[in-house]
Amino acid sequence: VPTCFENYSANVMVDSKPINLGLWDTAGQEDYDRLRPLSYPQTDVFLICFSVVSRASFENVKTKWLPEIRHHAPGVPFILVGTKLDLRDDDDTLETLREKKLSPITTEQ
């Protein structure tokens, strides 16, 4: 059973000032579409993550995540984060993608 969200917290120094960095890892499943926005108030920045070896994951940035955060948290900046970079050069992964006539997401995309 997937969790709705997980919290991570760390105290870090930024410009010699202590900052409490709180990360909320929210569930992306459709079942949580109504609950997830409850974690958005007072968000300073969103990290939108996608897999560089999954076209569907990348497309979800445009079709799901950006519309959702723009609706529920207009004006809040986001950082786009590509994950699984190590698989971009993995022979087995590349072969699987080739069989499906796909390729890893590039930095230009």
pLDDT at 39 over 90: no
By residue range, what is the domain housing residue 9?
Answer: 1-39
Instruction: Give the per-residue pLDDT at 6.
Output: 85
Asked if 50 and 82 count as a contact pair (C-beta separation under 8 A), the reply is yes
Average pLDDT for residues 14-38, to the nearest whole number?
85
Which DSSP letter does residue 64 get?
A: I
Instruction: Give the per-residue pLDDT at 33.
Output: 79
Q: Are residues 68 and 90 in the same domain?
A: yes
State what percent of residues in the chain have pLDDT above 70. Answer: 96
Q: ∠ CA(54), CA(8), CA(31), 5° rounding?
A: 50
Count of all residues that appear for the chain in the document = 109
Q: Are residues 54 and 105 in the same domain?
A: yes
Q: Are residues 66 and 108 in the same domain?
A: yes
* Residue (of 59, 34, 35) closest to 48 by Cα position: 59
Instruction: Give the per-residue pLDDT at 1.
Output: 56
pLDDT at 59 over 90: yes
- What CATH number did the domain enclosing 91 receive? 3.40.50.300
Domain count, the chain: 2
Asked if 3 and 34 count as a contact pair (C-beta separation under 8 A), the reply is no
